[in-house]
Structure 1
C-alpha cells in the first residue's frame, strides 16, 4: 500500500480518533452500547489511518495528502 495520508490530515485523524475512543468509553460507561460501538469503530479506524498513513477512501477518490519532501 502506498502512503496517501500525511501532514495536517494525519494529525487531524489522530486527534479525532483519540476523541472518538474517549466518547466511546463515556458512552459505554453511561450504558449506551450502540453509541459506544459506533464511536469505537470510527475512532479505531481513524487511528489506523493515522498510524499506517493509508486511507482506503482516499485511495478510491484519488486523494493524496502526503508531500514529496520526505
Structure 2
C-alpha cells in the first residue's frame, strides 16, 4: 500500500489550527482531557497523511 501525502496545504493548515486550539483547551479552557484530542489533527497536519482519506480515495493535495 502506497501511503503518500494526501492532504493539501489548506487542509493541513486548517487541521494544525484546529489541533492547536483543541490542545489549548486543555490548558486555558475548561481544562479537561478532551482537549488532548487535538493531537490527532495536529499530527495528521505535520505528517501530511490522513488515514481516513485512504479507504475513501480522497486527496486534497495538488497532483
Whether the TM-score (by the shorter chain) exceeds 0.5 is: yes
Partner of 2:40: 45
Q: Which has the larger radius of gyration?
A: 1
- In the TM superposition, structure 1's runs of 4+ consecutive aligned residues that sit over 6 Å from their partners are none
Give the TM-score of the pair, scaled to structure 1: 0.75
Give the conservation status (yes or no) of the 8 Å contact 1:7–1:67: no
- TM-score, normalised via structure 2 length: 0.83
Give the alignment of 1:1-70 within 5 angstroms: 1-26=3-28, 27-28=30-31, 36-41=32-37, 43-68=38-63
The structure with the greater share of residues assigned to helix is 1
Give 5+ residue unaligned stretches, structure 2. Answer: none
C-alpha displacement of 1:23: 0.8
Gaps of 5+ in 1: 29-35
| RMSD of aligned residue pairs (Cα, Å) | 1.2
